[in-house]
Structure 1
Amino acid sequence: MSGDLGLFGPDSVTWKLHREPILLLGGLRSLYLQALHPRAVAAVAQNSSYRADPWGRLTRTSAYVGTVVWGTTDEVHKIAARVRRLHSRMTAVDPRTGERFPLDEPELLRWVHVAEVESFLTTATRAGVRLTPAEIDGYYTEQLLAAELMGLDPATVPATADQVDAYYAEMQPRLSLTRDSVETAMFLTLPPVPRNWGSRAVRLGLSLGPTRWAYFGIAATAIAMLPPWARRMYGGLGWPTTDRTADLSARGLRLLLSSVLSTIPRSLRVAPMREAALARASAAGITAS
């Protein structure tokens, strides 16, 4: 729809942040964090096809986030309604108690939402994206719209950095490392390579070996960027030196992505959904990068 800038628009912190490719690392970090909630990870393990089709699930999740950020108002509400309908029909069993629970339980939706937006924001800023404290709080506040799309009452969702810190402190006693958590973390760290990658690599004169090691390095950085209390739950170290090393790695990865992407034609490096949003903004006489 011409002139429809969706939920956010060019002046939003959301558009500023989500143009950064380093958010892919933030998305991976959020999955490790989400897996520490026993019910959240059980819900995924019992209802998701991520083991059989991990890259397909990643593509669908990325498409959802991209639509919420860059889509028209109609596109956003249609995809959100579809996901809500899907969740409303699903249940899972708590492996600790045997209790069956709905996937659209507010506590689960809130945990997934906060872990995701905090991971996007924290990863980007630690990788070198400059945001003021007001912009950081502004991003959390803007993302209340995304939380509401999932059926949450915005009044129950943290809307500032301080509120997110308080929320994590409140949630920590409810988190634990379960069998599903461990299996999910292992899967995220060493996922299977799609079958067609082998033939593509041969055509490009590449080897899958370096690709696997490169991904392992990215996964290790995502784990190192978790909050110290989350790293300790996974059996890692909560030392400040780990945070500093992770920051350097994330900054290096951001620079590498920028360098590589600068050599790729714009039509291939800018997602079609974002390109369409920029075109609508331009048609409305608004300059957006």
Structure 2
Amino acid sequence: MLVTRLLEIGDLAMMGNLKRGIALTWAKSLNADSMPGEQYSGPAGDPGLFGPQSVMWYVHDDPSGVVGGVMGLILGSLHEPTMHGTNKHSVYKDDPAGRLGRTVSFVNTMCWASTPVAEKMAQTVQRMHKHVHGTMPDGRPYDASASENLIWTGVTQAYGIIQAHLRYHPNPVSPAQVDQYFAEYAVITEKLGATGVPKSAAEVDAYFAAMRPQLTYSEETADVVGFFTRPFGKNQAARAGSRLLSKAAFDLLPPWARKLYRLPDSPIDQLITRRSVRVLFQLLRDSVGESVIKTEAVRRATARPEVLSQTG
């Protein structure tokens, strides 16, 4: 999976070209699989849904989003209908790298692509969601297209990413910009068909407070815990790395979610995890440089639109 590939640094160091090795591993991880229609060029002058001055572009231009995205998946798993639908209709256990790659592809497209490309991507995912519905064993319905489920998935992802940003980015955004980030991420959720999406930190806190009676540590949630805590990788360094980022993701959970997951408090372990992840992310920032996606998106957004000449 993505976090495993990111952390095969033990092998990369022996290659004698650490920076190049990290960059290649990072690129392969983000492109494990992609959604159809993903592209970031043209039309010239189109800023996309957010643009270069947005908080969205600033937050997502950093590797800390990896931990945040995984935390969002873990937090989202506490909602049993959502988790049941995922288990019934997803192949994430059989192809974790591909599943995560497609999720990254979707978020990247909505964040960085031009407006028509992002809107077409949203329509593609809407069509996919129409096939994810049914009834749980206890009779409760689940439907990936339902507004309440779209909101839960979108808010948990946005919350995870911004929390990881606040903890691990060297220059994190201000509280006002956190509100702006939630408002911008809500646009993505709305494009998928949701209404009434929380758009500020206060609204997200109130939303979680309202949702907490519906959340539970179920058997399917336990499967997710086992999945994310199981070490991945072909060597000892990779497996240790996957455990580190999994621990960092669980460490990001809010206290009420940690309690539902029955996670013990270990200040020393938390300190070691956070320091280790900060070192890793700084290494990635120094080694990988600006992403190709961002380069293409900036070039497109800042290009002068073609002027159609009229004769007659």
The reply to whether TM is greater than 0.5 is yes
Aligned to 2:72: 30
The TM-score normalised by the length of structure 1 is 0.84
Relative distance call for 1:169 and 1:52 in structure 2 (3 A) is same
Relative distance call for 1:144 and 1:209 in structure 2 (3 A) is same
- Residue 262 of structure 1 aligns to a residue whose secondary structure is helix
1:161 aligned onto 2:191: no
- Residue 287 of structure 2 aligns to a residue whose secondary structure is coil
Pairwise CA distance, 1:279: 1.2
Return the alpha-carbon distance in structure 2 between the equivalents of residues 119 and 247 of structure 1.
Answer: 19
Aligned to 2:139: 98
Give the number of aligned pairs.
262
Amino acid at match of 1:113: G
Amino acid at match of 1:278: V
Aligned to 1:151: 193
1:179 aligned onto 2:225: no
User: 8 Å contact 2:50–2:56 — kept in the other structure?
Assistant: yes
Amino acid at match of 1:182: A
| % identical aligned pairs | 31
Return the alpha-carbon distance in structure 1 between the equivalents of residues 204 and 275 of structure 2.
Answer: 24
Match for residue 236 of structure 1 among 254, 263, 266:
263
Return the alpha-carbon distance in structure 1 between the equivalents of residues 50 and 271 of structure 2.
Answer: 28
Return the alpha-carbon distance in structure 1 between the equivalents of residues 149 and 114 of structure 2.
Answer: 27
Match for residue 295 of structure 2 among 266, 269, 275:
275
Query: Which of structure 1's runs of 4+ aligned residues deviate more than 4 A?
Result: 244-248
Aligned to 1:110: 151
The TM-score normalised by the length of structure 2 is 0.78
Aligned to 1:77: 119
* CA shift digits 1:72-104 (9 cap, x unpaired): 111101111000011112213324x23343221
Pairwise CA distance, 1:276: 1.1
- Once superposed, what is the RMSD of the aligned Cα atoms? 2.1
Identify unmatched segments of 5+ residues in structure 1: 199-207
User: 8 Å contact 1:221–1:250 — kept in the other structure?
Assistant: yes
User: 8 Å contact 2:231–2:240 — kept in the other structure?
Assistant: no
* CA shift digits 1:127-178 (9 cap, x unpaired): 244211111111111122111111011xx11111111111111111100011
Return the alpha-carbon distance in structure 2 between the equivalents of residues 191 and 98 of structure 1.
Answer: 35
User: 8 Å contact 1:46–1:92 — kept in the other structure?
Assistant: no
Return the alpha-carbon distance in structure 1 between the equivalents of residues 271 and 127 of structure 2.
Answer: 39
The range that moved more, 162-171 or 126-135, is 126-135
Amino acid at match of 1:210: A
